[in-house]
Amino acid sequence: MEPVILRHRDAVRQSLTYAAFAIVVNAVIITAFLLPMPGYWFTLVLLPVVVFLVYSSLRLATLKVRVDREGVWEPNPFRLTYVTPWEDIAHVRKRTSSGALHTQFVSVEIVHTDGDTHEVLALKMQGGAAYAEPTIEEWLDQIREAKKAAR
């Protein structure tokens, strides 16, 4: 069985957007220090913003789930280090949840053989997006097919 990589279809674009914002904010800080601008030390307040944007960019670029013979591998936080073996998975299903400001999210939920469940956070997206439902269904089908092939 070939490993299957599941990832958000806009992950690369969003990662590049965060990186571009980090470059712009960093350019403001550097420009303030290179030019004799009054209050240039206050631009250092923006450094945590740059750190957050760089972290978010790297996180989005590496956010993926791998499905192979061993089970479902999830990122934690940058590497695929957390695996749920097929023996522990009873089935997978779509999960709908609400976020802040009445935002709906859809994701993949793993139901374990002992009845516990956990949400695969790397496969979570806004429910209002036109491609959200078909993408979740495609991911569920791929996980189910991989489980059958691993038996």
**Enclosing H/E stretch for 26:** helix 11-34
The reported pLDDT for the residue numbered 49 is 94
DSSP state of 115: S
The answer to whether residues 95 and 119 touch, using CB atoms and an 8 Å cutoff, is yes
pLDDT in tens, 91-150: 999 999 887 777 889 999 999 999 999 999 888 888 877 888 899 999 999 999 999 988
Alpha carbons 59 and 56: distance in angstroms, whole number: 5
CA–CA dist 144, 29 (Å, integer)? 49
Residue 85 φ/ψ region, left for φ over 0, alpha for ψ in the -120 to 50 degree band, beta for the rest:
beta
Q: What percent of the chain clears pLDDT 70, i.e. is strictly above it?
A: 97
- pTM for the model stands at 0.77
Phi first, then psi, for residue 123 (nearest 5°) are -115, 45
The domain spans of the chain are: 11-60, 64-150
For residues 119 and 134, give the distance between their C-alpha atoms in angstroms, rounded to a whole number: 18
